[in-house]
Copies of this chain bind each other. A is one copy, B any other.
């Protein structure tokens, strides 16, 4: 994973899927399995009934642990969903990084397409994230986290493109920012009524983002440059 796009949002987060977050997180050496079980149970519940149906009792029951024990691994209820989102976004990061690393021709279009398709791949693998972020309207923490992730993603991609000489001079990260947010909305539409994502919308969405960013690209950004 030596791709230029690989730092995760939360440096404390690793991709084992067992790490919740923030304060008051005790020894988790022993309870790895339980945290993962909680996350998995939550994911299933979310997919089955939407974010509004999950509550501590339901989660604990599904995970097979007492409600009170949830608070051993998570500071509060919101953190559970947040941990799930963090886990899945780490997956997104990994997939994006890996797929971009394989690109031989760097151009605005190839980067956009690769990145967006990488997202779609993960979303199909992680339906809970789709339900939480793309459909559900949940808590502020998740909103902040995902927005922050969008910003990081935009920054990374911008650097990648600029480093490759694809970006016309007066461009700023605001453009990348907007592009990422727009893509996010495209995904929202594409996954609105199916966990598979409508291909037509995704394809068209790639055009939306590409055509916008090409306005800010160098000629090389449009025709592409060979990697390395």
Q: Of residues A136, A175, A212, which shows the largest number of chain B Cβ atoms within 10 Å of its Cβ?
A: A212
Instruction: State whether B200 touches A207 (Cβ < 8 A).
Output: no
A105 sits at the interface (CB 8 A): no
Nearest CB of B to A205, in Å: 7
Contacts of A208 in B (CB 8 A): 178-179, 182, 208, 212
Contacts of A179 in B (CB 8 A): 208
Nearest CB of B to A146, in Å: 12
Instruction: State whether A178 touches B200 (Cβ < 8 A).
Output: no
Q: Which of A13-21, A108-116, A183-191, A218-226 contacts B (4 or more CB under 8 A)?
A: A183-191
Q: For chain A, which range describes its interface: under 10, 10 to 19, 20 to 34, or 35 or more residues?
A: 20 to 34
Contacts of A137 in B (CB 8 A): 136-138, 143
A211 sits at the interface (CB 8 A): yes
CA distance A174 to B215 in the complex (A): 22
CA distance A137 to B136 in the complex (A): 8
Instruction: State whether A204 touches B178 (Cβ < 8 A).
Output: yes
A214 and chain B: residue at smallest CB distance: B211
A147 and chain B: residue at smallest CB distance: B192
Tell me the residues in window 19-69 of chain A with beta carbons closer than 8 Å to chain B beta carbons.
none
Provide the main secondary structure of the chain A interface: helix
A204 and chain B: residue at smallest CB distance: B178
Instruction: State whether B204 touches A175 (Cβ < 8 A).
Output: yes
A99 sits at the interface (CB 8 A): no
Contacts of A182 in B (CB 8 A): 182, 185-186, 208
Contacts of A215 in B (CB 8 A): 207, 211
- Known contacts A138-B137, A211-B212, A215-B207: A189-B200 contact under CB 8 Å: no
CA distance A185 to B178 in the complex (A): 9
The contact string, 1 if C-beta is below 8 Å from chain B, for chain A 146-189, is 00000000000000000000000000001101110110111011
Nearest CB of B to A86, in Å: 19
Among all A-B residue pairs, the 10 with the closest Cβ atoms = A137-B137, A185-B185, A208-B212, A182-B182, A211-B212, A211-B215, A211-B211, A181-B189, A181-B185, A178-B204
Q: List 11 A-B contacts (CB under 8 A).
A: A136-B137, A137-B137, A178-B186, A178-B204, A179-B208, A181-B185, A181-B186, A181-B188, A182-B185, A184-B185, A211-B215
